[in-house]
A and B are shown apart, each in its own frame.
Chain A
Amino acid sequence: MIRRLAFQIRVLVVALLAVLPVCSIAVAQVIELEPITPAPDSGSQVLPVLPAQRGHDVPSVPEAAPATAELLAPLRPLQMNAAVDGVARLRGEEDVIRFSLLVPEEATRQPALFRLLYRTGIDALPERSFIQVSLNGTDIARISADSFDSFAAEEIELPAGLLVAGQNIVTVHAVHTHRVFCGPEATFALWSEVDIRRSGVVLPSSGFPTSSEGFLAALAAQAALGRSVTVSSQEGGPESLRPLSDVFGQIVRFLGGLPPVFDAQSYWRIAEQPELARIVILPETAPARQGPQFVRGGDGAVVLLLDRGATSADLLAEFDTGSVSPTASHSPAVVPGQPAALGALGWDGIDLSGRYALRAVPFRLPEDWLLLASQKARIDLDYSFAPDVPQGALLVVKVNDQAVRLLPLDRGDGSALPTLPVKFEARLLRPGENRIAFETIIPSSRPDSACPEHEGPFAQIAATTVLNVPESPRMLLPSIASAFANIGPDDVQLSESGERLLPAALSPLIKGAFAQQPQDSPPARLMIGTVADIELLLGSPLSEAAPLLEQALLGRAQGEAAGQEGAPAQPTPRDVQWIRLPDVSGALDRVRAQLAGLAGLDAPTAAAWLQGKSAEAVILQPDPADPDKILFLMRPSLEPVRAAVALSHVLQGASAARGQIALLTPEGEWQGWENPDRPLMLLEPMRFETIRPVLGNYATHRPLRFVAIFLGLTLLSASVAILILLMTRRD
């Protein structure tokens, strides 16, 4: 009743307002009456009332371009571990970082604009600090490093023809001089940074084309912006990614660098920002199509259309027709027994400028190369140094981070030096990834003022410098690293718990990390799992360590929880009771330690080594006798990209992962444990010329056993001799 009354009042009010033309409120609210005009013809009459305000018209204003109108092909670091957070840092007085820049063909047809966003630490002297940028080997800009507060944008016009379709290499070379101090220590305060997400080539308005190279360029741009790559499907769940993880691995292989994160979504998802590239898996009921297809999405993204049963081979065939090649990540190979000049390893010579400089030359030895004894390797060093190098200057030659020679740079004429043979223990080298490095330390006579300008580098290593690595018999000491050399993308699989608990984006990322491995390697397997898969260690030599591994993966370690964070775990010597000697003097202690070391008894057991440790992930080689089966167990909370980057470090020769257990610390570093009982394997028949190195390896690896065997043989020989003597001698 009340409602009806209210309604009647409202109607009355409206009617009153309608009949009061002087009332301005009424003009605003009442329906507009069309003026009654004569009908144009007798068949059509004017309507008495028309609500003209109906409709959805919006004012016709000049159309605003969306905020993301400018498309940029951004820089992508070639190294997986550079600029994970979108900022690449160049350190010291001189540093160089190389980036990949994927651009579609359309961007190369006309002059283009390259943009670099950079900033420099306040300690740099702007007058003598600069950033040199080159594109495909051509210098394109020298920028004064004078932006200290925030990132500054430098725009560089690129002439037509300099950019190539597909992959381009951008080299950013920073040179810094400290504004206050001079000397090796001062160099560590110098840095410049590049915001890689906002640096790159501004693309024409047509954007990324719908082609394989357009797709890869758009994908690279999206990944460089730190955005995940949508993979949409009917279900939209993470499980939709798994059947196609090989395909994603192939994409990552072509992209190179830090892999993108693939994000499973439904077709009907929300996206507040337009995407640049994505992958769409068509419904199961869709008819099969002739391979992958590239189309334009509704938001302008380049869309890779895939059938549910698409294979990596289909995609490979499609990508191979484009101008983008897989990014090579392996270091150049050195063949043992054959001299390898730096020039052949890709170096035109090495300039060592600045008060502290470190330049590394990575190279790769065969996985079955092994010399553990006293053999020597040699670097025939062709080097020179400037005549005005200050007193106390040094050149340090390093092999796998161990100094093997210190060369003074302040004596005599350094401009014309004879070749210097630098011999070092070949056992410092290892199968797989290695590096030799040259480090200069140049003190200053006036350390409390800016360094005087110096023309040219302080020291130079010539491209004629030769590395000589001796040959070895084909032998193998099983390790995670040697197994990794045989793992390809097809060898990566998830355990049952991994399928359930780990992010679906993980598998494609890890396959991508292994995508550049040789395809013809021996069979190997990398199983990705969680702590639940610790049970796979039962019956293996690592079974005793299983509870501690579980503890390391499940949370903070006991030591940390008890406030002992950072305290190194004390290795517990293995059972050395049998050589317990009276602890009467330091000399005896030393003898005892040397004996234990010789026998290999000072190495901690896996359980002892694991005491108090915690890990984000762990790599295990459970059984050295079956070395190609590797487990990678991780916490579900570990970000997939971090896991992939950490594994790529192992592929690149992280030394700590050369044993049977490698722990990934919360800081992203690997810590490793080697099983002292792992077998030494000879992979070829014994030959006369290899007897010595083979015996040398055995003697070094198992000295006690080696001595025992020969002692046994000696005793046996003596016994036989005595027996013969007794049987044959007649008085």
Chain B
Amino acid sequence: MNRREALHGMAALAGGLFAGQSVAHASTPALMPAWRAWAQQYIEYSGRVVDTLQLGASHSESQGYGLLLAASMGDRVRFDAIDGWTQRNLAIRDDALLAWRWLPNQRVHVPDINNASDGDLFYAWALLRASRRFDDGALAHRAARIVEDLVGTCCAERPDRPGQLLLLPAEKGFSGPGRVVFNASYVMPLAMRELAAATGNARLAQAATDSLSLMAEIARNGPVPDWVDVSTRGVTPPREFEHKVGYEALRVPLFLIWSSLADHPAARQARALHAGTDGRGTVFAAAGGARLQSSHDPGYRAISALLECSGTADWGAAIPPFSTSQPYYPATLHLFAMLAQMEALPRCVPL
């Protein structure tokens, strides 16, 4: 059996695996102009998604985000470009996971082959969505391989609750004897559940459920911060990171809303944090919630507007029109907020 036959075989297997499942999400033609603008601004012709603010780097996360958007928009050309560049430059590990960062203007573009679990998760989710959108079973098989390796390397038991699983930020560097570092924004419940359902990977489903339980537990004492330590003593402020609710944690309520979990305690805490403000806050003190940093970038405003709308029965959310006059990260969150609104909160149309 040569490589092509093997691929065909895998595609057939994957086709069988996902047979009978409908396309998860309807076409989103209304978002196409925004997607095209995003792609033109942040994707190089080669398929590299550029995060200018982060040294012009590309991450497995940014490639995964771009791939998911391309799949959701049905843009096969850009999907292939992003996938091609990623495979050439970040798929350099022994497993199906991606190296977490590619740096331009460096002699060695990938100095660290550690992975980032959110990048891998979104990459796998994008492949799954694309397999349905483009009716391409080979993509689903690749998604299944990533899931298998992700669960194998990045799912760890909670030190204080044996038997419960958490999604670690990476294969290496975030766990030690009796302690793990947890980043709630790496958990995208909808992606984990869709992938778990499609691949039959029960450990991924359990990791989603248990991570959500941990987030609820953290939210009992305040907003969910960027990073926490989880050890045999329970949940404590992170030792290696600043204890704040910042650019990482911004994604937590967005992913919860997208996953139809707007009533999750973590989302409620985030709502309370932003309530009564102008929606421009980006960094808050984990204790007390004082605003430490804010931004005029409309992408952040989009998240707080969606969050505010999710807590009411009103129609319409103050999500600003999409704009590329903002850096990659808020622009991407802006598009995600619009996609999440379309998929999970149709009544919260941008006003």
Contacts and interface: CB of A to CB of B under 8 A. Distances in A.
Contacts of B276: none
Interface in A264-278: 266-272, 274-275
Given A43-B232, A298-B302, A298-B351, A51 B321 contact: no
A303 B321 CA distance: 13
B131 interface: no
Contacts of B103: 29
Given A14-B113, A47-B240, A56-B54, A299 B320 contact: yes
A283 B315 CA distance: 9
A694 B25 CA distance: 76
Given A43-B232, A267-B30, A272 B323 contact: yes
Per DSSP, chain A at the interface is loop
B45 interface: no
B316 to A, nearest CB: 7
Nearest to A230: B321
B338 interface: yes
Nearest 5 A/B pairs, CB to CB: A298-B320, A29-B111, A271-B321, A56-B247, A298-B318
A56 B320 contact: no
Interface in B319-346: 319-325, 327, 329, 338, 342, 346
A236 interface: yes
Nearest to A289: B315
B240 A232 contact: no
Interface in A45-103: 45-58, 60, 63-66
A31 interface: yes
A662 B136 CA distance: 62
B4 interface: no
Contacts of A28: 106
A393 to B, nearest CB: 61
A43 B240 contact: no
B233 interface: yes
A63 B294 contact: yes
Given A14-B108, A56-B247, A47 B173 contact: yes
Interface of B: 30-31, 33-34, 37, 53-54, 92, 100-101, 103, 106-108, 110-114, 116, 169-170, 172-179, 181, 226, 229, 231-233, 236, 239-241, 246-248, 279, 283, 292-296, 298, 301-302, 305, 315-325, 327, 329, 338, 342, 346-347, 349-351
B316 A305 contact: yes
B240 A268 contact: no
B65 to A, nearest CB: 12
Interface string A13-41: 11001000000010011110010000001
B299 to A, nearest CB: 10
Nearest to B244: A57
Contacts of B247: 55-58
Nearest to B231: A44
A271 B111 contact: no
Contacts of A347: none
21 contacts: A31-B173, A34-B240, A43-B232, A44-B179, A47-B179, A48-B173, A50-B173, A266-B33, A267-B30, A268-B33, A268-B338, A270-B322, A271-B323, A272-B324, A274-B320, A275-B321, A280-B316, A282-B349, A296-B318, A298-B305, A299-B321
A47 to B, nearest CB: 4
Contacts of A58: 53, 247, 327
